[in-house]
Structure 1
Amino acid sequence: MSTFADNIRFLRVKRGLSQHAFANDILIISRDRYSKYESGRSEAPYEVLIKISKYFNISIDLLLTVDIRKYPLEDILKLPDNRIVLPVVVDQLGNNSIEIVPQKASMGYLSGYSDPEYIESLQRITLPFLTNGKYRAFPAQGDSMPPFKDGSYIIGKYVENIDDLKPNKSYVFVTLNDGISYKRLKTKKKKSITVVSDNSFYEPYDIPLSEIIEIWQYASGIFPQDFDSINFENYDLQEVFSELRNTITELENKVLAIKNQTM
């Protein structure tokens, strides 16, 4: 039995339709022909797939690859292009279940974000104060967004529409080229967005909209045990990096001046 066969039988029964009614009235084909699709004895042609997809408002990709019986249709969040379902899973107390993307395998998220089995394999936590949305935890890397550093996690709330982005808010951007990055939105343009690090050592840069896979707005953070918030507050990291950048610029200018004198 195929995933597609299981899905169309599940959806048909959920709508309260008989095979005969669904085949004759909706798909305009014979019941015998349809029954072969539902039993897995035959594959549906493209024109039939389109009709089924439009009728149930579920993409062909999902119909063919995802066992939608695992996800209550009224409780799932679909991306705008309907390419994957993001089940909002809750525990017995009604708290949202938050998937944690592992530090060592963060790059694997680029190939696994659209695979429900990969998402289901991730460890989960629940935080009672995070409700009304879909949340996921991503590993922090580098020093571009203090106070987050290696070993920290940024919990993001899924953003459905690019128009919902707000300047000066922080987001986790999942992109084709850069993978997972945590930055602050500076401006929105017609075909790109400009993001900036809280660490002034790093320059702002543009991300083409065509490269963006997912966006998650900052909701909370998880810090390692050795995180010292008191020392961090007394340590002006931005000022240090700013001074370092000025020093590098001065050295570059001196080197350039020496080269010009020798030419």
Structure 2
Amino acid sequence: MTLIAKNLKHLRHLKRLTQEVLAEDLQVTRSRISSYEEGRSAPTLEFLIAVSDYFKLPIDILLRNDLTKGQDASFIEVGNQRVLFPITVDSDNENLIEVVPVKASAGYLAGYDDPEYIEQLQKIKLPFLPTGKHRAFPIKGDSMLPMKPGAYVVGRFVESRLDIISGRTYVLITKNDGMVYKRVYNHIDTQNTLRLVSDNTTYEPYDISIEDVLELWEFTCSINTQEYDEQELKISSIIQMFNTLGVELKALEQLVK
């Protein structure tokens, strides 16, 4: 069975439509829907355009991706006729997330909107994640201490810029800076910008236009690939970290003097 045949049948089932209802909505015969779903004939270009408009999915997605891997029909529209598959599952119906490897992170900016590129990313299972579409990104540098270089941040895709919460950390895919992980302050209403702040205060904050943000992923959890040594975990570092997050630890400071 071809991908388009599988996808057409899958999408119809997700929408709980009979072949008769779908045929009526697309203004074709039921036998034509049946023929396409069973792979007995290839759909015409006009039919593919109609299906694309009906299910709000690009034709490229319908032809080149196995949509049966998605749990539901709530594909995330990100503009410019591209979508993000919210959830993929394994053979045991467990949720999977894509992992952007370190070697491929430089190419993510070029491939983030290419379904074939995303499809080829390795996938892992993290059963404790909350609901939503998640992806894991490699973190480089020391701007977000105590995050160690080589760590991965797992982020939940932010569908609406209205959902950005000031003070939380996000992985941003930007036109000019590529992939960055920063604490974000939302100034969209007043300046149409986001202020990006590093937890390591040796790095200066800077502003970025919301128009330059291609994707935004809110921090869910992190995965460290290196062990911390004793010096990295000394009490002064912990106090500094919590103070940066706005937590008052004066009592604790008095205890360690």
TM-score by length of 1: 0.70
Q: Deviations over 1:133-162 (max 9, x none)?
A: 222211111111111232111111221211
Where 2:214 maps in the other structure, the secondary structure is strand
Q: Deviations over 1:6-49 (max 9, x none)?
A: 5446545773215xx755x33346789987998337422xxx55
Corresponding residue of 2:125: 126
Structure 2 distance, partners of 1:229, 1:53, is 57
Q: What RMSD, in angstroms, separates the aligned Cα atoms of the two structures?
A: 3.6
Shift of 1:85: 3.2
Residue identity opposite 1:187 in structure 2: N
115-124 or 7-16, larger mean C-alpha shift: 7-16
Corresponding residue of 2:246: none
Query: In the superposition, relative to structure 1, how do residues 128 and 112 fare at CA in structure 2: closer, same or farther (>3 Å)?
Result: same
Q: Deviations over 1:175-224 (max 9, x none)?
A: 22222110001232243211111111222222222222211111111123
Where 1:137 maps in the other structure, the secondary structure is strand
Structure 2 distance, partners of 1:63, 1:233, is 53
Corresponding residue of 1:151: 150
Shift of 1:80: 4.3
Tell me if 1:78 matches 2:79: no
59-68 or 130-139, larger mean C-alpha shift: 59-68
Query: In the superposition, relative to structure 1, how do residues 120 and 167 fare at CA in structure 2: closer, same or farther (>3 Å)?
Result: same
Corresponding residue of 1:56: 55
Structure 2 distance, partners of 1:233, 1:49, is 61
Paired residues of 1:173 and 1:214 also in contact (CA < 8 A): yes
Sequence identity percentage? 41
Corresponding residue of 1:208: 209
Where 2:19 maps in the other structure, the secondary structure is coil
Structure 1 distance, partners of 2:92, 2:65, is 27
Corresponding residue of 2:197: 196
Query: In the superposition, relative to structure 1, how do residues 133 and 16 fare at CA in structure 2: closer, same or farther (>3 Å)?
Result: same
Query: In the superposition, relative to structure 1, how do residues 89 and 67 fare at CA in structure 2: closer, same or farther (>3 Å)?
Result: closer
Equivalent residue pairs, number:
231
Residue identity opposite 1:221 in structure 2: S
Corresponding residue of 2:252: none
Structure 2 distance, partners of 1:32, 1:77, is 28
Query: In the superposition, relative to structure 1, how do residues 104 and 216 fare at CA in structure 2: closer, same or farther (>3 Å)?
Result: same
Paired residues of 1:187 and 1:195 also in contact (CA < 8 A): no
Corresponding residue of 1:253: none
Shift of 1:124: 3.1
Structure 2 distance, partners of 1:87, 1:224, is 26
Residue identity opposite 1:194 in structure 2: R
Where 2:201 maps in the other structure, the secondary structure is coil
Shift of 1:131: 2.7
Query: In the superposition, relative to structure 1, how do residues 204 and 93 fare at CA in structure 2: closer, same or farther (>3 Å)?
Result: same
137-146 or 2-11, larger mean C-alpha shift: 2-11
Tell me if 1:17 matches 2:19: yes
Residue identity opposite 1:209 in structure 2: I
Q: Which has the larger radius of gyration?
A: 1
